């Protein structure tokens, strides 16, 4: 877990920078425009997973291949192709489904989505190749640079235009983080076949990020903007959970038998403490966010507090997901998420219509709680089987 702490420390800097970026944007754009911007971003996250064939998760397991550098090269090539397709798709969805027709807002939102998707792919590959320090530097550089551009843009009254220009340069520079690490790529068809077991689970995981889009459909524009602020500004709370998945998956993939089980059990004990801590501070997080954002975002405290609780529960889920990926049990993860996430997130529509932004946050909490229960059941079954195999082996 030391490496996870190191990654978490870096992500504290990076995600605080992202949180401040969204905080500046909430003030410069206002609730309605910020809600539209956030809707474009989360839609991009989902669509990029939809067309990505699960390659993002495969990137974390490239070390399990006999030719990791070649697999990493083919994953990066596949990811850049698919996020370009995602960008065109999100443009059409934003215009014709969400009726967002403000050109600077559309351009900035789609470019921001491209930035996050491209760097997420690069950083997953770096983590998968166990180039952790380079991944950490990439993460902090990207987030701090974007924050600086948003601050300067808001001072000069051109936040979106300045953001778009900076993000474009960052997107073009993203492949350079992989210099001297890649080899001749594998056949793309073969790479897609390797990534397919992770595809469904990836799509369903990203379905949870559509909470802002659901708010846009179920809540009035101001309420959707309030929820978007709660969701995006509180996103740094997911630091440790995402760090654990990035570090623990490659580690568990290398380990076998009793060593893997011990590492998993140790990480889960730690994540339970993290979960309890986030739940404990959730009221303070909500009140602090409402105080910082001011009267324009009145009512943001309770949704933010609930999302803090959801982040705590998500930390436990990420530990379980890492174990399932390392055990080549992505299929079990897919069926669990298929059974849990769609109905839980769809409950956000009636909850949002009746309770506003609070209802959407309750749907997110419900989704995470149900996943804890069902994923725990799956993990315990697999661990029991692995324990039995270890016992049988040792008896000989």
In tens, the pLDDT along 257-273 reads: 777 778 778 888 888 88
Q: Which of 68-72, 124-128, 212-216, 300-304 has the highest mean pLDDT?
A: 300-304
pLDDT of residue 256: 74
Is 80 exceeded by the pLDDT of residue 119? yes
What integer is the mean pLDDT of 27-46? 86
Q: Which residue has the higher pLDDT, 297 or 395?
A: 297
Is 70 exceeded by the pLDDT of residue 3? no
Mapped to the 3 state alphabet, what secondary structure does the chain carry? CHHHHHHHHHHHHHHHHHHHHHHHHHHHHHHHHHHHHHHHHHHHHHHHHHCCCCHHHHHCCHHHCCCHHHHHHHHHHHHHHHHHHHHHHHHHHHHHCCCCCCHHHHHHHHHHHHHHHHHHHHHHHHHHCCCHHHHHHHHHHHHHHHHHHHHHHHHHCCHHHHHHHHHHHHHHHHHHHHCCCCCCCCCHHHHHHHHHHHHHHHHHHHHHHHHHHHHHHHCCHHHHHHHHHHHHHCHHHHHHHHHHHHHHHHHHHHCCHHHHHHHHHHHHHHHHHHHHHHHHHHHHHHHHHHHHHCHHHCCCHHHHHHHHHHHHHHHHHHHHHHHHHHCCCHHHHHHHHHHHHHHHHHCHHHHHHHHCHHHHHHHHHHHHHHHHHHHHHHHHHHHHHHHHHHHHHHHC
pLDDT of residue 284: 92
pLDDT of residue 305: 93
pLDDT 10s digits, 46-55: 898 888 888 8
Predicted confidence band at 379 (pLDDT cuts at 50, 70, 90)? Answer: confident
Q: Which of 210-214, 234-238, 334-338, 364-368 has the highest mean pLDDT?
A: 364-368
pLDDT 10s digits, 314-331: 888 888 888 887 777 778
pLDDT of residue 239: 64
pLDDT 10s digits, 217-255: 888 888 888 888 888 777 767 665 666 666 676 677 677
């Amino acid at each position: 877990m030391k490496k996870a702490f190191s990654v978490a420390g870096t992500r504290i800097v990076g995600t605080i920078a992202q949180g401040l970026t969204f905080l500046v944007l909430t003030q410069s754009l206002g609730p309605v425009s910020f809600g539209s911007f956030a809707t474009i971003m989360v839609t991009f996250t989902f669509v990029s997973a939809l067309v990505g064939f699960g390659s993002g998760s495969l990137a974390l397991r490239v070390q399990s291949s006999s030719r990791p550098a070649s697999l990493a090269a083919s994953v990066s090539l596949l990811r850049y192709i698919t996020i370009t397709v995602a960008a065109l798709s999100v443009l059409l969805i934003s215009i014709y489904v969400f009726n967002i027709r403000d050109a600077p807002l559309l351009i900035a939102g789609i470019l921001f989505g491209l930035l996050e998707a491209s760097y997420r792919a690069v950083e997953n590959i770096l983590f998968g190749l166990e180039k952790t320090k380079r991944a950490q530097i990439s993460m902090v550089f990207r987030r701090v640079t974007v924050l600086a551009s948003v601050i300067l843009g808001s001072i000069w009254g051109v936040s979106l235009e300045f953001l778009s220009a900076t993000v474009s340069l960052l997107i073009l520079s993203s492949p350079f983080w992989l210099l001297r690490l890649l080899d001749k790529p594998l056949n793309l068809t073969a790479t897609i076949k390797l990534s397919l077991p992770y595809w469904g689970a990836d799509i369903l995981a990203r379905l949870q990020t559509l909470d802002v889009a659901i708010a846009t459909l179920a809540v009035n524009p101001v309420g959707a903007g309030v929820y978007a602020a709660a969701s995006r500004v509180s996103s740094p709370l997911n630091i440790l959970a995402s760090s654990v998945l990035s570090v623990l998956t490659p580690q568990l993939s290398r380990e076998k038998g009793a060593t893997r089980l011990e590492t998993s059990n140790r990480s889960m004990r730690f994540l339970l403490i993290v979960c309890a801590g986030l739940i404990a501070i959730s009221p303070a997080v909500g009140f602090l966010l409402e105080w910082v954002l001011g009267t324009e975002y009145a009512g943001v405290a309770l949704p933010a507090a609930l999302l803090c609780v959801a982040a705590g529960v998500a930390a436990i889920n990420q530990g379980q997901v890492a174990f399932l990926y390392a055990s080549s049990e992505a299929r079990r993860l897919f069926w669990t998420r298929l059974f849990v996430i769609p109905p839980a997130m769809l409950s956000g529509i009636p909850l949002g219509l009746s309770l506003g932004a609070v209802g959407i946050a309750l749907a997110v909490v419900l989704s995470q709680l149900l996943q804890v229960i069902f994923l725990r059941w799956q993990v315990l079954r697999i661990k029991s089987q692995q324990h039995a195999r270890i016992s049988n082996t040792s008896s000989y």
